[in-house]
Amino acid sequence: MVKAMLIAVWHHLSEVKLAEAFDGRASFRRFCGFSAKEPTPERATFVRFRRELVRQGLDQVSTPFEN
């Protein structure tokens, strides 16, 4: 899930767009460790995960890739 959230940040994707991107982008699936046949998380899963990051105060953590 952390890798999926990184993709969302790097590509400016909402939870809906992130879930859709996994259907069309094999590179995203590989980066997150999902096989082509494996189902990927739904939008609601990303929403819950992001909310938990916010609750824990981890939504503002800087990455070394930020400008």
Interior angle at CA 49, CA 45 and CA 52, nearest 5? 145
pLDDT the model gives residue 28:
94
Chain centre to alpha carbon of residue 13: 8
**Which residue has 């982008």 as its token pair?**
25
Q: Nearest to residue 4, comparing CAs of 38, 42, 37, 36?
A: 42
The domain segmentation of the chain, as residue ranges, is 1-56
pTM: 0.76
pLDDT tens-digit map of 14-65: 999 999 999 889 999 999 999 988 899 899 998 999 888 888 887 776 555 5
pLDDT the model gives residue 64:
57
